[in-house]
Amino acid sequence: MSREDFITKEYSKKIEKGEVAWESPSNIALVKYWGKRANQIPANPSVSFTLKNCKTTTKMEFQRKTVKSETFDFKLFFEGKWNPEFEPKIQQFFERIETYCPFLKDYNFKIFTENSFPHSSGIASSASGMSALALCVMSLEKELGAIHTSSEISFYKKASFLARLGSGSACRSLEGELIEWGAHQNIPGSSDLFGIKYPFEIDEVFKTFQDTILLVDKGQKQVSSSGGHNLMQGHPFAENRFTQAHLNLDKLKEVFASGDLENFIAIIESEALTLHAMMMSSKPYFILMKPNTLQIINKILEFRKTTRTPVCFTLDAGANLHVLYPEAHKTKVLEFIKNELVVYCEKGQYICDQVGKGAEKL
């Protein structure tokens, strides 16, 4: 399937005005996407848990212009207030998707968005935010009676394709529980252009997995996601890293099917540390973990060893940790977090989440 398949060749209806709203969750990558090519194409495939509680709610009001213009006309309201600071990212998104959604310049838009989690908390708000907006755009396109160049294009497939052009990881936030993104020779239907529901057997233990997010550092990131991805270009270990991601996805097929928590933990923690190792060995290099990040990691390793509780950690490109564990161990792990780990969090803050089913139309 090519990009051209996502182009809408005609619309069968005219809509003067209306509104649409979606809520879409964030996600946490298990096999990490790190490094990208032009047009938001990943350098390696990834797989993620879709979250349930950390989500963005977006409402898009639209009204057809009386006079067609050659500009995108919109206003972005964040948590009820006009926020021009966020508008350049929406402008860039519309520019990237116009080829596939040519109606965008026909309308004036008001976009209202808010998160269920604190801003700058280390949760991937770009994933939840851009996926929610992509779904709103797709809902309008559906109302317009879009007819695509390919009969294979479904609502969610194109929404994921569009979301990717706003933020790469956003293409993994539309559905659940496990979403794979990136072409992989052993995963049928996988594509660099959109995320897919993980196509193989998934043991029940992973469908209710818990994710407690420890907010170690809520400050501004040292390097943007785009900047971090770009550091993989010419990185001396990049090709080995991309190969490792493919191999880990192969290993996870049996892990997900069998519920093998021991090997799940080994792969997921290795992936997290590899991501940070790539950042520490890039030019320029970045040390994104904080002293309290390392304190928590050591506490988790010690707790797991002494209690034999199947709990592990993963990290994105920052200092905050996601503590992952089966629902059956929720009471014990939360007690451990409150007693041993909260002291290392900024202002004692943490967020309780779990694997979810994906986005919902409101």
* Euclidean distance between CA atoms 71 and 291, whole angstroms: 47
Tell me the pLDDT tens digit for each residue of 312-360. Answer: 999 998 899 999 999 999 999 999 999 999 999 999 999 999 999 999 9
Burial class (CB in 10 A: 0-12, 13-18, 19+), 89: middle
Q: Which long-range contacts (CB under 8 A, 24 or more apart) does 90-99 make?
A: 90/133, 93/130, 93/133, 93/165, 93/166, 96/40, 96/165, 96/166, 97/134, 97/137, 97/162, 97/165, 97/166, 98/72, 99/7
Tell me the pLDDT tens digit for each residue of 106-149. Answer: 999 999 999 998 765 556 688 999 999 999 999 999 999 888 77
Q: Is 144 within 8 Å of 106 (Cβ atoms)?
A: no
List of domains in the chain: 3-202 (3.30.230.10), 205-354 (3.30.70.890)
pLDDT (0 to 100) of residue 32: 97
- For residue 66, pLDDT over 80 is answered with yes
pLDDT (0 to 100) of residue 287: 93
Higher pLDDT, 210 or 39: 210
Tell me the pLDDT tens digit for each residue of 271-299. Answer: 999 999 999 999 999 999 999 999 999 99
Q: Is 293 helix (H, G, I), strand (E, B) or coil?
A: helix
pLDDT (0 to 100) of residue 122: 57
pLDDT (0 to 100) of residue 118: 73
Angle at 148 between CA 145 and CA 152, to 5 degrees: 115
The string of DSSP codes covering 10-46 is EES----EEEEEEEEEEEEEEEPP--EEGGGEESS-E
Write down the pTM of the prediction.
0.93
